[in-house]
């Protein structure tokens, strides 16, 4: 069956799709590329108005740079499916065809998971050109290929799927009725990348039997006219994370290699050492090594009795500006992304410029950090809902309480970059230690050396304290002169 064209929408389908359901990560190759493998399928909806026919064009919206193709196998439902078992799910698929799940990564920031803006645009779901009878093919042996300007960019088969095609039908039918003409976009393998105006992308699905969808052809054009209105919703935002994911790798995106992480910068043994060392002792050792600007000044703990030890993840706020907050403050903004990205042992450090006139987090984000296993939160701004944040129990350092929301003074802007917090520079991966005295920053390369030296110093200081308590004057004893030093070494050798 050939898909025709009516006003750039495929005809000869059983009906215009009432629903288009797309799968997030479905191929092993894509999961390996993204570094995460789902335990179960997850989905999002695309607008029926996004459907387009082969031979048409797709507009890259004005003000964006990251329009990416995703060649996919599309399943067209032939008969109604509601709570169908896996063994009978394929019987409800009428046809198979090629699709291109186009999306604009610049528009993902406020659409995490839903992809309403990023993938819902007109023409963002080309289908066709031909329909393959699902009864005539083995769903486990279908091949998917994508070309850009004649160059093969994707080549995979359904043998590389994490979940079989029929599982999507069975799974979705548990939750709602799949109706004739509904379309399931079954995910893309590795190789998806960015398109620019003038590029021609082609997608084909075929079977060892010789059945083929034909090549689905789409040409990219440049959008013209005004950019998105910040008064109405989020604006395009293309950061390096989006560029890396859109292009497929940092190298393809033209980004420099990330600095290799220091191996075992906070090992269990190092953490145990730091647990027993006061921040004041660490400060002294860092000072001996020429590092004086390593304290986060002006912050106090909500839990002075708790020790903070972890590695830095950073979040930067810019001074409040209404137009920028309208574009970057709502939805899935940098603040929310930073807290969602936290992992075991992380400390989120917030640059708020010492501004005390609003909160920089509240109880919900504190709960999120604790649930993620984060070690703590440090902000040189205020905290709202401070009683509730304190009750969460996670170590938090702040300049104090303020009832106002973030947008009164700040625009959430960027994460995991070098920042300034409390007058000190904090780089992602730095080790932070906090107690009732405050918070100190330890460069990872010095952490073991500083910890060992601080432990040795703590032992000596404890001995000196015992001598003072026994009645000896501090002159010559604190710090020990040569005579007292020799006495200490003799004592130490007998332990």
Summarised one tens digit per residue, pLDDT across range 364-374 is 999 999 999 99
Predicted confidence band at 259 (pLDDT cuts at 50, 70, 90)? Answer: very low
- Residue 144: is its pLDDT beyond 50? yes
The per-residue pLDDT of the chain, averaged, comes to 89
> Which of the two residues, 111 and 1, has the higher pLDDT score?
111
pLDDT at 13 (0 to 100): 65
Please tell me the distance from the alpha carbon of residue 319 to that of residue 331, in angstroms, as a whole number.
19
- What digits encode the pLDDT tens for the residues 414-463? 999 999 999 999 999 999 999 999 999 999 989 999 999 988 887 777 77
Of 49-63, 255-269, 405-419, which gets the smallest average pLDDT?
A: 255-269
Q: Report phi then psi at 277, rounded to 5.
A: -110, 125
Of 149-153, 378-382, 472-476, 491-495, which gets the smallest average pLDDT?
A: 491-495
pLDDT at 14 (0 to 100): 61
Predicted confidence band at 395 (pLDDT cuts at 50, 70, 90)? Answer: very high
**Within a 10 A sphere around the Cβ of 177, how many other Cβ atoms?**
14
- Residue 118: is its pLDDT beyond 60? yes
- Residue 157: is its pLDDT beyond 80? yes
- Residue 91: is its pLDDT beyond 60? yes
pLDDT at 457 (0 to 100): 82
pLDDT at 10 (0 to 100): 52
Please tell me the distance from the alpha carbon of residue 457 to that of residue 479, in angstroms, as a whole number.
11
- Fold match between domain 5-247 and domain 293-442: no
Question: Hunting for tokens 């998971």 — which residue is that?
Answer: 113
> Which of the two residues, 235 and 168, has the higher pLDDT score?
168
pLDDT at 8 (0 to 100): 46
Rounded mean pLDDT of 333-341?
A: 90
* 3-state SS, one letter per residue, for the chain: CECCEECCEECCCCCCCCCEEEECCCEHHHHHHHCCCCCCCCEEEECHHHEEECCEEEEECCCCCCEECCEEEEEEECCCECCCCHHHHHHHEEEEEEEECCEEHHHCCCCCCCCHHHHCCCCCEEEEEEEEEHHHCCCCCCEEEEEECCEEEEEEEHHHECCCHHHHHHHHHCCCCECCCCEEECCCCCCCCEECCCCEEEEEEECCCCCECCCEEEEEEECCCCCCCCCCCCCCCCCHHHHHHHHCCCCCCCCCCCCCCCCCCCCHHHHHHHHCCCHHHHHHHHHHCCCCCCEECCCEECCCCCCEEEEEEEEEEEECCHHHHHHHCCCCCHHHHHHHCCCCCEEEEEECCCCCCCECCCHHHHHHHHHCCCCEEEECCEECCHHHHHHHCCCEEECEECCCCHHHCEEEEEECCCEEECCEEECCCCEEEEECCEEEEECHHHHHHHHHHHHHHHHHHHHHHHHHHCCCCCCCCCCCCHHHHHHHHHHHHCC
Instruction: Pick the closest to residue 29 from 125, 137, 153 (CA basis).
Output: 153
Of 14-18, 83-87, 267-271, which gets the smallest average pLDDT?
A: 14-18
- 127, 53 in Cβ contact below 8 A? yes
Q: How far apart are the first and last CA of the chain?
A: 89
Fold classified for 293-442: Glucose Oxidase; domain 1 (3.50.30)
pLDDT at 69 (0 to 100): 96
- Residue 102: is its pLDDT beyond 70? yes
Q: What is the dihedral of CA 473, 474, 476, 479, to 10 degrees?
A: 160
Rounded mean pLDDT of 250-268?
A: 67
The percent of residues above 70 in pLDDT, for the chain, comes to 95
pLDDT at 332 (0 to 100): 80
Question: Helices 482-493 and 447-469: crossing angle, nearest 10°?
Answer: 100
pLDDT at 353 (0 to 100): 95
pTM of the predicted model as reported, rounded to 2 decimal places: 0.58
- Residue 228: is its pLDDT beyond 80? no
Rounded mean pLDDT of 16-37?
A: 90
The percent of residues above 90 in pLDDT, for the chain, comes to 68
pLDDT at 15 (0 to 100): 65
- Residue 237: is its pLDDT beyond 80? no
Predicted confidence band at 355 (pLDDT cuts at 50, 70, 90)? Answer: very high
> Which of the two residues, 236 and 85, has the higher pLDDT score?
85
Fold classified for 5-247: Fumarylacetoacetate hydrolase; domain 2 (3.90.850)
- What digits encode the pLDDT tens for the residues 284-308? 999 999 999 999 999 999 999 999 9
- Residue 4: is its pLDDT beyond 80? no
**Residue ranges per domain, the chain?**
5-247, 293-442, 449-493
């Amino acid at each position: 069956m050939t898909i025709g064209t009516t006003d750039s929408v495929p005809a000869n389908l059983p009906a215009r799709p009432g629903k288009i359901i797309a799968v997030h990560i479905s191929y092993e190759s894509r999961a390996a590329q993204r570094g995460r493998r789902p335990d179960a399928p997850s989905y999002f909806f695309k607008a029926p108005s996004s459907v387009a026919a082969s031979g048409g064009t797709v507009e890259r919206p004005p003000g964006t740079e990251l329009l990416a193709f995703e060649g996919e196998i599309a399943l067209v439902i032939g008969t109604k499916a509601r709570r169908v078992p896996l063994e009978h799910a394929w019987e409800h698929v009428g046809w198979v065809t090629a699709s291109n799940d186009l999306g604009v990564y610049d528009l993902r920031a406020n659409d995490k998971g839903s992809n309403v803006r990023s993938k819902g645009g007109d023409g963002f779901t080309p289908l066709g050109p031909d329909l393959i009878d699902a009864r005539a093919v083995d769903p486990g042996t279908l091949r998917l290929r994508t070309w850009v300007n004649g160059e093969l960019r994707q080549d995979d088969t359904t043998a590389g799927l994490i979940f079989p095609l029929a599982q999507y039908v069975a799974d979705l039918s548990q939750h709602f009725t799949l109706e004739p003409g509904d379309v399931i976009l079954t995910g893309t393998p590795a190789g998806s990348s960015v398109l620019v105006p003038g590029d021609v992308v082609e997608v084909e699905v075929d079977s060892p039997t010789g059945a083929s969808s034909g090549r689905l052809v789409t040409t990219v054009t440049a959008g013209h006219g005004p950019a998105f209105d910040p008064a109405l919703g989020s604006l395009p935002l293309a950061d390096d994370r989006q560029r890396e994911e859109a292009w497929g790798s940092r190298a393809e995106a033209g980004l420099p290699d990330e600095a290799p992480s220091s191996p075992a910068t906070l090992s269990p043994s190092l953490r145990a050492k730091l647990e027993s060392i006061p921040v004041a002792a660490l400060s002294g050792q860092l000072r001996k090594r020429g590092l004086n600007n390593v304290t986060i000044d002006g912050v106090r703990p909500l839990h002075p009795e708790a020790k903070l030890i972890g590695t830095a993840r950073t979040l930067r706020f810019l001074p409040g500006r209404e137009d920028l907050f309208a574009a970057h403050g709502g939805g899935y903004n940098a603040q929310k992304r930073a807290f969602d990205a936290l992992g075991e042992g992380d400390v989120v450090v917030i640059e708020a410029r010492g501004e005390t006139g609003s909160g920089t987090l509240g109880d919900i984000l504190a709960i999120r950090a604790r649930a993620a296993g984060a070690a703590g939160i440090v902000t040189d701004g205020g905290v709202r809902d401070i009683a509730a944040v304190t009750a969460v129990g996670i170590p938090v350092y702040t300049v104090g309480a303020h009832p106002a929301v973030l947008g009164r003074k700040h625009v959430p802007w960027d994460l995991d970059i070098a920042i300034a917090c409390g007058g000190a520079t904090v780089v992602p991966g730095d080790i932070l230690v906090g107690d009732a005295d405050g918070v100190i920053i330890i460069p990872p390369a010095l952490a073991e050396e500083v910890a060992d030296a601080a432990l040795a110093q703590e032992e000596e200081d404890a001995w000196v304290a015992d001598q003072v308590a026994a009645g000896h004057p501090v002159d010559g004893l604190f710090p020990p002169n040569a005579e007292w030093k020799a006495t200490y070494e003799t004592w130490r050798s007998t332990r």
